[in-house]
Amino acid sequence: MPAEKNYYEVLGVSEDADAAEIKKAYRKLAQKYHPDRNPGDARAEERFKAVQEANEVLSDAKRRKEYDVARKNPFGPGDGFHTSNGGQFYRTPDGTYVRFESGPGQMGGGSFGGGSFGGMEGIFDSLFGGGQRTEQPFGGGRRSAPQLDVSTSLRLSFDQALKGGKTEVSLPTGERIRIDIPKGVRPGLKIRLKNRGRKGPGGKRGDLYVTFEVDPHPRLRRDGDDLYITVKLNPFDAMLGSTRQVTNAYGKKIKVTLPPGTPPGDRLRLAGQGVKTDKTTGDLFVEVEIEIPKDLSDEQRRILTDAAIKSGFRGKEKGG
């Protein structure tokens, strides 16, 4: 876990912020920097990714505790420490803390349809052709020499993360390695592949640690296994009621009825339409945004003013 990143600063909250404050800050920033609202703005997209990454850590009590411990660790590069629950952290030369787990990560099922997983060969070419190694840990031993362990990240598209599944790639040694991507994988999940690291004296081989990174969706934003989508209404649709059709992350079209008097910021919950994992299914939340027309013609203004006066929403003395 990168100790040099201050996730609290990214979300603009204090270090003692509770879960509700973190959630509120995340939603506000996610809306502000979402690609839908900033088309073609690379800086906003990077900010959006940073906000997502910070939320993935700080909204999870266990990961937040591990992050806080790693961030406040006083040891220099190459040192490490143990947490009270038995977790082991080692620090690599670039300041990254790696948490070594006692067993393989959770695996998911499904299939990608037999295609090559874009970019994987290049990742492993660079990884095994002189990638960074993990320094000797502070305290505690491991069955494979720590300096033989290798860490890397694998970037997935949003759809790839939703589907999960298996893919094979060739290592420079000629070996075939199978990556099993958990269905609905969240950004930041790390899996351990035993005996897939570097080879050492005596034929020993370290482990390979893969951390998944997930690109944002162009229309939806993710919070845990829940998804959020924004629907824009004009004032008339908001006052009189309307129907809209939304599409969930899996391509399913859903008709949504918005009742008369729908206020801005209102949220409708579509149960079971969020991210599906092997164990859980999230919800899809439809958030309402009211669009106010700015460029009215004189005729439109006159018609609206008359309607407002007749309906009692506006007095004659203000009607112009």
**pLDDT tens digits for 266-306?**
999 999 999 999 999 999 999 999 988 888 899 988 988 88
Rounded to 5 degrees, φ, ψ at 120 are -65, -40
Residues 177 and 238 in one domain: no
Average pLDDT over residues 81-88: 44
Beta strands 176-181 and 165-170: pairing type?
antiparallel
Contact 243, 257 (CB under 8 A): yes
pLDDT of residue 14: 92
CA distances from 211 to 6, 46, 155, 189 (A): 19, 18, 9, 6
Structure confidence at residue 85 as a pLDDT band (50, 70, 90)? very low
Residues 93 and 152 in one domain: yes
Residues 161 and 198 in one domain: yes
Residues 122 and 162 in one domain: yes
Give, for 190, the enclosing helix (H) or strand (E).
strand 190-193
Structure confidence at residue 163 as a pLDDT band (50, 70, 90)? very high
pLDDT of residue 148: 81
pLDDT reading at 142 higher than 90: no
From 217, 242, 264, give the residue that closes a domain: 217
pLDDT of residue 212: 86
Structure confidence at residue 72 as a pLDDT band (50, 70, 90)? low
Structure confidence at residue 150 as a pLDDT band (50, 70, 90)? confident
Contact 147, 90 (CB under 8 A): no
pLDDT of residue 109: 34
**pLDDT tens digits for 86-131?**
444 444 444 444 444 433 333 333 333 333 333 443 444 434 433 3
Residues 208 and 96 in one domain: yes
Range of the domain at 54: 1-72
Q: Identify the residue with better confidence: 151 or 298.
A: 298
pLDDT reading at 214 higher than 80: yes
Give, for 62, the enclosing helix (H) or strand (E).
helix 61-71
pLDDT of residue 128: 42
pLDDT of residue 245: 94
pLDDT of residue 316: 66
Residues 202 and 89 in one domain: yes
- Furthest-apart CA pair in the chain: how many Å? 93
Contact 3, 70 (CB under 8 A): yes
Residue 256, domain CATH = 2.60.260.20
Residue 29, domain CATH = 1.10.287.110
From 72, 107, 130, give the residue that closes a domain: 72
CA dihedral 132, 181, 101, 130 (to 10 degrees): -10
Residues 121 and 232 in one domain: no
Contacts for 223 with CB less than 8 Å, ≥ 6 apart: 23, 26, 27, 30, 55, 59
Average pLDDT over residues 188-202: 83
Q: CB burial class (10 A; 0-12, 13-18, 19+) of residue 51?
A: buried
Share of the chain above pLDDT 70, in %: 70
Average pLDDT over residues 196-216: 83
Contact 309, 315 (CB under 8 A): yes
Residues 139 and 81 in one domain: yes
Residues 97 and 152 in one domain: yes
From 37, 72, 107, give the residue that closes a domain: 72
| 312 conformational bin, left if phi > 0, alpha if psi -120 to 50, beta if neither | left
Residues 122 and 206 in one domain: yes
Residues 54 and 86 in one domain: no
Helix (H, G, I), strand (E, B) or coil at 238: helix
Q: How many domains are there within the chain?
A: 3
pLDDT reading at 307 higher than 80: yes
CA distances from 317 to 298, 313, 314, 320 (A): 18, 12, 8, 7
Q: Identify the residue with better confidence: 208 or 298.
A: 298
Residues 118 and 192 in one domain: yes
CB atoms within 10 A of CB 75: 11
Share of the chain above pLDDT 90, in %: 29
Average pLDDT, the chain: 75
Chain length of the chain: 320
